Structure 1
Amino acid sequence: MAKKIGKLLLTKLSALAKTDQSGVTTVLGGEATAVGQDTLAEGKATLQVKDLGAVTVVKGTASFGATAQSTGGSTAYATADSFADVSGADIVITRTKSTSNTTENGDSTTWTETSTTRVLAIDIEGITLPKTLDLSAGLSKVLSKIQGFKAIKKPDPVDLDGNVAKVQIDVLVEGENTYADVGTSVLTVEDTLSTVNASITTGIA
């Protein structure tokens, strides 16, 4: 059944196609900021782009989280965002999930936010669709199966001590003509702030 569906999809794509001479460009990343006495901001992003001959496959995840904790009526604030954008692919699936939670315990306030974006894109050699097929709404569950990646989870407030910022990046681009660029920044201010942001940009043709 899967093979029949695949052949049917390729037949329909070929009927709509014209000569394809473009490459595939991907941007993946995010940011997180926590403001408070004890803060944690962290980001993780992994992106793989592979030219498999007949198709080029893009697969990636960006996960960012922030937690702030303050006592005695001091400010506690957290924000997190993640994103993915692919141009030049025939099929693109993206999904972003965000969480936000604020708790108060006596004179202590804790604010946590997380954001995770997953992306899967396919470019079929030799054809270009009149319009990219965005299947995010119908096939977003497929993205939860991306192997080897765990999204950032809310830390235990008991373990939150000081002001910490950290980022982890993993990128791989395989093909004849490729490009990869990574940009990151981290900043902490004692008893005040943790912030991180990161982005990955890749190209393949």
Structure 2
Amino acid sequence: MNVTAVMDSINKKQTHTSIKRTYSINKQNMTTKYPRTTEQDIRTNFINKINVRDYFLHERTFSNIKIKLNEQIIWCDKALLAAASPILCDELLKNDEILLLNDINLDDFLLMLEFIYPLFNPEINQQNISCLIKLSHRFQFNILQHACQYYVMKYLSTIRQIIGKCNHLETEDDCFDSNHNDENDTYRKKSDLIEFHDGTCVDAYGIILNLCQWLQTYFYDDNIIIIQSSK
């Protein structure tokens, strides 16, 4: 083998090594720059980009029914509404053009729709539970009804535990000397706030008001629910 052939062989090896090294570096850079994305990440990012109002206020491919709420019109899918609610199903069978629900707040109804459409991933919380209870009972949306009942029972259980601890502390305070009256008064003012495990503080009056509203909804819907809930 002559010198030229040897040099060509060395150059080819160096070039091949350089290519491999470059590919390896690029591969590492890609791994760092573009982290692995799961299907759940894609779904979450997609949902976060969706504006609920924008989604329902505009006609889409599978939108085949209009609903009018206080002079505002939204577009929905009949099949999804009918499958979720027998009340809506009956109304849709009677009226094929536009459904009038002028006694319902648009934002509240959109909130319920989030639980009907699998596209969204909503959750029940202290801010939306009251309207969800009313709408789920009005439209007999059973899945949401049960979810709301579970939330309420869990909510009541949490309050019962916290109030029990507060009562225990107040009993201990009664054992102190009269010199601690100022401290006791300060504590009693603070005890009007109920603190949850996540650190959220809610006014006791507000909680009682919510409970009365929920009770009213359950009472007018079915008295049996009250009996079952108290067991």
Compute the TM-score of the two structures, normalised by the length of structure 2.
0.23
Larger relative contact order (Cα-Cα within 8 Å, sequence gap ≥ 6): 1
Larger radius of gyration between Structure 1 and Structure 2: 2
Select the structure that is richer in strand.
1
Select the structure that is richer in helix.
2
